[in-house]
Amino acid sequence: MPSRSPSPENTTPLPPFGVPSAPGPSIPLTESYTFHSPTPTAPGPYILGVDEAGRGPVLGPLVYGVAYCPVAWKDDLEELGFADSKTLTTEKRAQLLGVLSGDPVNLGWSVRVISPQAISSGMLRLPPTNLNKQSQDATIMLIRQALQRGIQLSEVYVDALGNTSTYEAYLSSTFPGINFTVTTKADSKFKIVGAASVAAKVTRDACIEGWCFEELDGDNQNGDPRGFGREFGSGYPSDPRTKAWIEGSLEPTFGFPSVARFSWTTVKVLLEKSAHPTKWYVIDEGQDSLVTAFSSSRGRDKDRNLVTRELCLRSVGTL
């Protein structure tokens, strides 16, 4: 697995082959992690671009990527062919990741891989951490770690949806002294964001293509006795191949393997429709209120103060 430590000094070197930011062979993606390329040695100041891959899919991780180079190297960057990764072929993206990794003096990049489990647990907990907040946290983490690694940033360009002016103001207040530009379609407007887009997309694709099911032992990864196929499709709920995989991979007692995002409506609806229902059995009289409190946040927890509810504290009547 690539470096998961947020510390700047814990950086994984690039191997001569493969996608260095993806999990290694036969390693399940069970937790989120961060990968950093070697720190560029050219003098600053630097520009940095931010983009993501995998925000909408129901399968696999969400990956945030950053790329950075010296301001003085902007014209050279323009000639390298970086663009919105969705407009590029798989082969071209792989080639461009090689370009991004091939000039450690002037170019650097990092990715934050947010696992499907982390996405789901964040969105389903009380209070929930929605995808916008998880995305914001990943962006801030990557920018902060670039600064910790000694990169002097003067300009940061961020691809984002929604109210970009509010987000731009927030980032500017979080990192005073850096000029932020937050806009839609930044990956097609700024080459440094296109480079970040390539890093994120290639990493996510490698995670999906090499997905190792933690639910299976090593001998069963290819000849899968439980029916977990590898025809994931694009991962988007509207993709017929993705829909077929989801419908064919449901285990009625345990649900889906961890590649699926349990917080997505597509998965929730299918679980409600086709999975075994849960029934709570009352062990003895007096336990009814505990069961009600657990299943509906009522009963003993009714009318509890807001802080107690937000901390997810619950009453215990019987140990």
Give the residue ranges of the annotated binding site for a divalent metal cation.
51-52, 159
DSSP three-state, residue 306: helix
Could you give the C-alpha distances from 151 to 44, 64, 67, 178, 203, in angstroms and in order? 7, 18, 11, 12, 23
Q: How far apart are CA 297 and CA 287, in angstroms?
A: 15
Distance (Å, rounded) from C-alpha 224 to C-alpha 252? 17
- Binding positions are 51-52, 159
Residues 6+ apart with CB under 8 A from 293: 299, 300, 301, 314, 315
Owner of token pair 């950053």: 66
**Taking the CA atoms of the chain, what radius of gyration do you get in angstroms?**
22
Cβ neighbors of 283 (< 8 A, separation 6 or more) are none
Q: Which residues pair with 46 in a beta bridge?
A: 70, 153
Q: Tally the residues of the chain.
A: 319
